[in-house]
Structure 1
Amino acid sequence: MRESSHLLAGLRQRIARIAADGGLPGRPAAGWLASGHAPFDDALGGGLAVGRTHEFFAADTLDATSAAAFAALLALRTPGKAPLIWLRTVDAGRRAGRIYAPGIAELGGDPDRLLLVEAGDSKALLACASDAIRCAGSAAVIVESWGRFPLLDLTAGRRLALGARDAGTTLLMLRLGAAPAPSVAETRWSVAAAASHALEANAPGAPAFDLELLRWRSGAAGTRWRLDWNHDEQSFGQGVGDAALSGALLPLPARRAMASHGAKAA
């Protein structure tokens, strides 16, 4: 607990300075965190609900970076200059690598808004998360964990959800190297990397993501989406070659289809 207090003391001072410089309100406005992809947002009633908990799982171990990137880009779409708090354990830093500020800027985000806190272990991470969601002036909180997280049971999850709701803070739980399990999250997603569309001269295309809605407390799940990141507009949209998908529903990824055929052949 002393470690949590030490970490969050400096964090609160930084948020207070940003709030004083930018004239930020005490809490974010209620509403939705929109992706910018109109069909995707409309299907969710406007986007991801603000002041709620949303979980993101990597579809495969190799998709961990894509899941983290999607959560970060989504959080960076929050309006204004309100800080975004990213909490992770030291172990997560070793596994996923350091967050590269120039890379965030290259994608159109403002790395100055990102406040990174590394906790020593899962217990400290949970304590920091409980404090961070109540920090006045923060736009969103990302909590990155790797593997099983036994301390994050239904009781702990409910406390975080209530804290986020009361403060109006959007809580994005980045569960890497873990399998989806029952929780109190408003939405639960599986994120995988999608093949980007090459630009002129066969230049690398924009980051693209395959998403599957695993759970939605307010509606039906099971929908699949492809979202491409637009650097210029700083929003998600539909890829150039995806018009036939009508902007939303995706078939099963090719790699899963191939695995299924292989199983039948065996």
Structure 2
Amino acid sequence: MRESSHSLAGLRQRIAGIAASGGVESRPAEGRMASGDARFDAALGGGLAIGRCHEFFAADALDATSAAAFAALVALRTPGTAPLIWLRTCDAGRRGGRIYAPGIAELGGDPDRLLLVEASDPKMLLACANDAVRCAGSAAVIVESWGQFPLLDLTAGRRLALGARDAGTALLMLRLNAAPAPSVAETRWSVAAAPSRALEADAPGAPAFDLELLRWRGGPAGTRWRLDWNHDEKRFEDAALSGALLPLPARRTMASRGAAAA
């Protein structure tokens, strides 16, 4: 895991070297980042589209870690050595905690593929994101912010989306402790921690996620999944007793979901 809080010049050179050695060729077939779960991927046409922007919101502030973990695990599933660029503000790092390389390895990911960049403020984060999405050769770019992000308006979002499209990079926006707003994202998700299945002797089970598709430009939204992470096979799978996909009322929002749970 590499860290930097300044220029992306060295990062660009590193990614260019990976691309020259064949890193770009290791991208998933048909431009998709597949989760590994057949039903989930089939519903999205093969997985999350590469070259597009995808937003992940925590259903609750306490679910910020789950939202970050789900986005990162999808990106780290991509085969080969292409790097995953993770951009975050220093404030997000303080609130969300440090990224733990041995933990990524325990989940089956390769922490050496993770290039971490911490920006001093949202303005610097946006500047770094505009540079990073144009670095062809990465598996994905994750941009993590905490709270509302006024600088990320429709104009700024479109600039990022165009950069991701031109470079063929998946752009994953982690919008933690924030409410959804109009954007150019291809998909928008609400992510929450789900109860895991205990292992033998009541040992902690694998990470589990409740997912709600809030918006999708390519099809209908309002669908929910519950997925477990299988670290042995490095893929997601249907949680036990998850049943059929559950359509939600068209006007259901994250706020109403929280109120119902209260």
Using the size of structure 1 for normalisation, the TM-score is 0.88
- Letter of the 2:246 counterpart: L
Given the superposition, is the C-alpha separation of residues 151 and 84 from structure 1 closer, same or farther in structure 2, using an over 3 Å criterion?
A: same
Please point out which of 229, 246, 249 is paired with 1:249: 246
- Partners of 2:125 and 2:166 in 1: how far apart? 20
Structure 1 residues 16-72: Cα deviation after superposition (integer angstroms, max 9, x where no partner)? 34445x532389565211101111111111111111000000000100010011111
- Partners of 1:173 and 1:182 in 2: how far apart? 14
Partner of 1:260: 260
8 A contact 2:23–2:137 mirrored in 1: yes
SS in 2 for 1:10: helix
8 A contact 2:5–2:120 mirrored in 1: no
- Partners of 1:19 and 1:55 in 2: how far apart? 26
SS in 2 for 1:175: strand
SS in 1 for 2:204: coil
Partner of 1:111: 111
Given the superposition, is the C-alpha separation of residues 213 and 128 from structure 1 closer, same or farther in structure 2, using an over 3 Å criterion?
A: same
- Partners of 1:260 and 1:24 in 2: how far apart? 46
- Partners of 1:194 and 1:258 in 2: how far apart? 15
Structure 1 residues 117-172: Cα deviation after superposition (integer angstroms, max 9, x where no partner)? 00111011001000001112111000000001000000000111111011100000
8 A contact 1:27–1:136 mirrored in 2: no
Partner of 1:87: 87
Farther off after superposition, 5-14 or 62-71: 5-14
Partner of 2:161: 161
Using the size of structure 2 for normalisation, the TM-score is 0.90
SS in 2 for 1:7: coil
- Partners of 1:77 and 1:100 in 2: how far apart? 17
Does residue 1:35 correspond to 2:32, yes or no? no
Partner of 1:127: 127
- Partners of 1:87 and 1:30 in 2: how far apart? 26
User: Where do 5+ consecutive residues of structure 2 fail to align?
Assistant: none
Partner of 2:220: 220
- Letter of the 2:23 counterpart: L
- Percent of aligned pairs sharing the same letter: 79
- Partners of 2:121 and 2:30 in 1: how far apart? 32
Alignment coverage as a number of residue pairs: 252
Given the superposition, is the C-alpha separation of residues 27 and 201 from structure 1 closer, same or farther in structure 2, using an over 3 Å criterion?
A: closer
Partner of 1:9: 9
Partner of 2:194: 194
8 A contact 2:33–2:47 mirrored in 1: yes
Given the superposition, is the C-alpha separation of residues 149 and 78 from structure 1 closer, same or farther in structure 2, using an over 3 Å criterion?
A: same
User: Where do 5+ consecutive residues of structure 1 fail to align?
Assistant: none
Partner of 2:22: 23
